Amino acid sequence: MIQIPSLSGTQLETPRLMLRPCARADAASLLKLVENNRTFLVHTHPQTEKDVNGLWGARSYLAHKRDEMREGRNLPCGIFLRETQQLIGYVQLFQIDWNVPRGELSYFIDVAFQKQGLMSEAIAALCNHAFTKLNMAKLFLRVAPENTASIRIAEKTGFQLAGKLRHDFRDGNGVLQDVLVYDRIG
């Protein structure tokens, strides 16, 4: 029988950031983050953009993510600035398959905090945790070929291009998109 480690209570710290699951009290901050980045998220995270619609939607979204975490299927973390505790982004290790074990990463950061190395810092911390504490064998992520910023983050944090999947993702406008798959072995 496979032993699934507890994901609840995860808190990761870097020199500038703290990653932790968002609490119900973070719903308003999550809503603000999504609203500030909705134009971008409709293309890259359409389900999040759709679900986090109003305060009730943000609370429902976070409750659903907490349920997935309790079931061992997702480690969803808000990315907070250590100094101010401001929520500036979101990263999750999801679609976890404990039989391998492996999981997929998904992430976004507020446009005001891009190009500062913060997302790379967050991804590096989560990868380290996944490989050393959760004993993951493999992590992967999917990115649109035109999302050069996300490609740079993947490569900077040790992911390698594994291939291209055609018509693998439907964006918020209903358009099928190709994706590049990047993976990293633990």
* Domains in the chain, CATH or no CATH each: 12-136 (3.40.630.30)
1 pLDDT above the threshold of 80: no
At residue 135, the pLDDT reads 95
Mean pLDDT, residues 86-91: 98
The confidence band for 6, taking pLDDT boundaries of 50, 70 and 90, is: confident
pLDDT higher than 80, residue 49:
yes
Contact call for residues 96 and 74 (beta carbons, < 8 A): yes
Structure confidence at residue 8 (pLDDT): 87
| Average pLDDT across the chain, whole number | 96
**Mutual orientation of helices 54-70 and 27-36 as an angle, nearest 10°?**
110
pLDDT band at 5, cuts 50/70/90?
A: confident
Does residue 156 surpass a pLDDT of 90?
yes
The CA–CA distances, whole Å, from 135 to 47, 139, 140, 151 equal 28, 11, 15, 25
